[in-house]
Amino acid sequence: MGPGGGGFSAYFCPMAVEIKNKKASFEFFLTEEFTAGLQLVGSEIKSIRAGKASITEAYCRFQNGEFFVFNAYIQEYANAGYAGHESRRPRKLLLNKVELKKLEKRLKDVGVTVVPTLLFIAPSGYAKLRIAIAKGKKLHDKRETLKNKDVARDLDRRLD
């Protein structure tokens, strides 16, 4: 219990929610990262806080001058009642104008996309999505990534 004896503790810190897209760094060269807010409904934020979401197959793009994340999966909340949500609906990303202009300019290049890398709950309590400007890797680049990971793992084992 917190100071004062009862009720809600001012020091209460819920378990941090971090939903990662591990495939992103394997499939793409990630260059520049941004942190964006998400426009969600109540049942979606409750599902995210419960860890019932996936951003593995998600991607981001502009639609009618606004920036959205598509194909991000947020499971329906069991206690939502009639006011539930679609699990894979497009969700608006909240960025400032400077960041939006920068993203729009970078997306005009061939082979460049924006992928979500991390979905988390910020200390403020809001859901945030870390996105990165990405360029696809070729097969030999993926093999090189795996090789470097194996070498690092072997070094760690030898040092222990």
pLDDT at 14: 53
Q: Give which of 139, 138, 134, 132 is closest to 111, Cα–Cα.
A: 134
pLDDT at 70: 92
Q: How confident is the model at residue 17 (pLDDT cuts 50, 70, 90)?
A: confident
pLDDT at 135: 87
Question: Average model confidence (pLDDT) for the chain?
Answer: 82
Whether residue 41 is predicted with pLDDT greater than 80 in this model: the reply is yes
In angstroms, rounded to a whole number, what is the distance separating the alpha carbons of residues 103 and 105?
Answer: 5
Q: What is the pLDDT of residues 45-58, one digit of tens each?
A: 888 888 888 888 88
Q: How confident is the model at residue 35 (pLDDT cuts 50, 70, 90)?
A: very high
pLDDT at 1: 43
Q: Are 37 and 121 in contact (CB under 8 A)?
A: no
In the DSSP assignment, the letter for residue 144 is: H
Q: Which helix (H) or strand (E) holds 37?
A: strand 28-38
In angstroms, rounded to a whole number, what is the distance separating the alpha carbons of residues 48 and 149?
Answer: 30
Superfamily of 18-159 according to CATH: Small protein B (2.40.280.10)
Q: What is the pLDDT of residues 136-154, one digit of tens each?
A: 877 777 888 888 888 889 8
Whether residue 9 is predicted with pLDDT greater than 50 in this model: the reply is no
Whether residue 10 is predicted with pLDDT greater than 60 in this model: the reply is no
**Tokens encoding 10:** 């001012």
Unique residue bearing structure tokens 């470097």: 148
Q: How confident is the model at residue 78 (pLDDT cuts 50, 70, 90)?
A: confident
- Cβ neighbours around 6 below 10 Å, total: 7
